[in-house]
Amino acid sequence: MSQEKISKIKKIQSTGHLRKIMADYFYELDRAAKEGSPKVAWCSSVGPAELLLSLGFVVHYPENHGAVLGSSRKANDYIPVANAIGYSPDICSYLTSDVGSFIKKETPLSRAYEGIEGVAKPDVLVYNTNQCRDVQDWFNWYSRELGVPAIGIHTYRNIGEIKDEYLHSIVKQTENLIPTLEKISGNKFDVDKFREVLSLSRECTLMWKKVLEANAAIPAPISFFDATIHMGPAVVLRGSPQAVEYYKVLLEELNEKIKNKDGAVENEKFRLYWEGMPIWGKLRDLAEFFIDLRTAVVASTYCNSWIFDSFDPKDPFLSMARAYTEIFIVRDENFKENYIENMVNKYKLDGILFHDAKTCPNNSNNRYGMPERLAKKLKIPSITINGDLNDLRCYSEEQAKTNIEAFIEQLESR
Amino acid sequence: MNHFAGIDVGASTTKAVIIDKNREILGHSVKDSGADFKAAAEKAFAEAKKQAKKKAEDEYFVVSTGYGRRNVSFAGDTKTEISCHAKGSFYYFPESHTLIDIGGQDSKIIKVNASGNRTGFKMNRKCAAGTGAFLEEMANRLKIKLEKLNELAEKSEKDVQIGSYCTVFSATEILTKIREGVEVKDLVKGIFHSIIKRAIEMDPLEGNIVMSGGVVAHNPFLVSMFEEKLEKKIFVPPLPQLTGAFGAALFALEEKGG
Ligand code: SF4
């Protein structure tokens, strides 16, 4: 009998609760798709989800499916399928793995959830290009394939100050989506319902923020690698009471850990920032590697990207436009540098790790000299590792680990 | 414990260095890493011991480094090649400097401050460009022995440019140049230039420069070309290929030598 390796990763008790609400979510989507009601909308991860929910859609997030493909290590079975039909290995590997899995009619969801045969088919595809152009191309592929409309918001990128004219344009574009969405959902837009969803989403955001801020404690109670999993509800269940409830439970557990000085990394010695996408297929492996190095990856841009504290039910359209424009990925280098500087100070970090993800330039912030500028300004070192969110062909285990290990040796010798 | 050893198991060669308490090198060796890192480490260590003329019962404390550092079963500790190179280099050049190490499968740029601490590093392993593997591939294409590259390049008086970043593209470029009648010695110099360019692209090479690694050990002319390019003197430690192994031996001494 094979003996299961005992993991050094400490258990988070709330994970059971997380699994339950995530399962409920996927079953609800599946049921809706099978019964044809309520209608299913696909939404980009920082798209206008609250509007869709208010119109009665159940919402599927293809990027979440991308992450599922990555973390189940299935992505590399599917990426070549999309490459073969002309979608380059250099573009978003969420896109290529998701499209590839659709073509092959397979999904890890059916292994995880009995009775689910495939991803819930959409009645409409809604994106916001605030994060990248790939979401639009991704949704357009499905639009052509399935004959459903792909509509979206075209937004501003690489911006410093958020100007009123940007927001007005986004508000207008959001409003323009409504007639199509009403027609497809069969429901009339109701601003009070919209306010209600936005208010729940705001609550979820604020709770998620508290969860992340718990890591200001030394030792940090939750690792970046765990946080990427526990982030699930903040992405796919925002706007629901379940997400808010979940983060209350999780926060309580983390506070207990803080009280007991029970860090995610035993004998935490160094604290790092993770800038960039997770390497989904290597979460567990890297988590254990960092535990061995007694290094806590404490904070990240990625997990903080689902904090939308500008949501204001009193002014739903404008505040939503602001919230989805304020996020890191949309901003210019100056904003990003200040943001990371604040993080470094707030979480008392010793160094910054940049993940240069081959297929996502939008989340690879090492490419325009930022590590060098930050090292100079903050007087803490940084390291860049080459990899990818999903395409493990772009990741050299040995190279990445030697780089990280050498980086920790450098911190030790200071 | 009186003897300290460093074993650097690189992707292409394995190096062993034995030192005594006074940091004197007693023995060293270089072996092909081949497909069995463990065996290569043992072989390299055995030969270094033989050279050191030590008795079989002598005890050693060993620190391993390099790509196959975890395959060295007799090592008491491991360190990354980055730390070991910095350590070895600072011993011979105890001032703040930038070390350029051109190895078989990677190139590294390591910044060391005046106290010998590392302040930063960059490692290129994404492709063969700028490494020993690139030289091997090109020598293979030109059907010349690796050992001949240095003297050939030295004879060249032309400036042939190989512009491509990628090794496969460079090979195609070389084919084109052969077709155009460019002489082999000029091509080899162009290939050396290409290695230099890859290093320059990795980091601003300011201050004192030290170079190490197998490529440097076997091709001193490449260092001269580099000096000309940077318009300054480059320091090369006495056994450039053994810098990492020597650094590992120094770590061994620090750990167990009191
Ligand atoms: S931001 Fe990056 S990972 Fe996300 S959808 Fe766009 S290209 Fe893909």
Q: Are strands A40-43 and A124-128 parallel, antiparallel or unpaired?
A: parallel
N residues, chain B: 258
CA neighbor of A390 nearest in space, from A358, A361, A366: A358
Mean pLDDT over A30-56 rounds to: 97
CA distance, residue B83 to nearest chain A CA (Å): 7
H-run or E-run covering B154: helix B149-155
**What's the ipTM?**
0.91
Give chain A's domains with CATH numbers: 28-192 (3.40.50.11890), 197-412 (3.40.50.11900)
Is A402 in contact with B126 (Cβ distance < 8 A)? no
Restricting to A residues 362-391, those with a Cβ less than 8 Å away from any Cβ of B are 375, 381, 386
Q: For A102, what's the count of Cα atoms within 13 Å in the CB-facing half-sphere?
A: 22
Q: Using CB atoms, which residue from B79, B119, B123 is nearest to A409? A: B79
SS3 A128: strand
CA–centroid distance, A14 to ligand 1, in Å, is 29
Tokens at A252, concatenated: 């309580």
* A40 in Cβ contact with A29 (< 8 Å): yes
Give chain B's domains with CATH numbers: 1-93+238-258 (3.30.420.40), 95-236 (3.30.420.40)
**pLDDT tens per residue, range A289-348:** 999 999 999 999 999 999 999 999 999 999 999 999 999 999 999 999 999 999 999 999
* B44 in Cβ contact with B30 (< 8 Å): yes
Which residues of chain A make contact with B79, given a CB cutoff of 8 A?
Answer: 409
CA–centroid distance, A134 to ligand 1, in Å, is 6
Alpha-carbon distances, residue A289 vs A357, B9, B217 (angstroms) = 19, 21, 35
**pLDDT tens per residue, range A135-174:** 999 999 999 999 999 999 999 999 999 999 999 999 999 9
* A337 in Cβ contact with A343 (< 8 Å): no
How many beta-carbon contacts under 8 Å exist across A and B? 37
Q: Tell me which chain A residue has its CA closest to the CA of residue B86.
A: A410
Asked if residue A371 has a cis previous peptide bond (ω within 30° of 0), the answer is no
The amino acid that residue A134 corresponds to is D
CA B193/CA B162 separation, integer angstroms = 8
Q: Tell me which chain B residue has its CA closest to the CA of residue A402.
A: B80
* A402 in contact with B, Cβ within 8 Å: yes
**pLDDT tens per residue, range A69-81:** 999 999 999 999 9
Other CB atoms within a 10 A radius of the CB of residue B157 amount to: 7
Torsion angle in degrees (nearest 10) through CA of A387, A389, A394, A398: 50
Q: What is the DSSP letter of B213?
A: S
Q: What is the pTM of this model?
A: 0.94
* A292 in contact with B, Cβ within 8 Å: no
* Per-position pLDDT tens, chain B of length 258: 789 999 999 989 999 999 999 999 999 999 999 999 999 999 999 999 999 986 666 789 999 999 999 999 999 999 999 999 999 999 999 999 999 999 888 899 999 999 999 999 998 766 777 888 889 988 988 999 999 999 999 999 998 988 887 888 888 898 899 889 999 999 999 999 999 999 999 999 989 999 999 999 999 999 999 999 999 999 999 999 999 999 999 999 999 976
Q: Using CB atoms, which residue from B119, B120, B125 is nearest to A396? A: B125
CA neighbor of A348 nearest in space, from A229, A256, A213, A251: A213
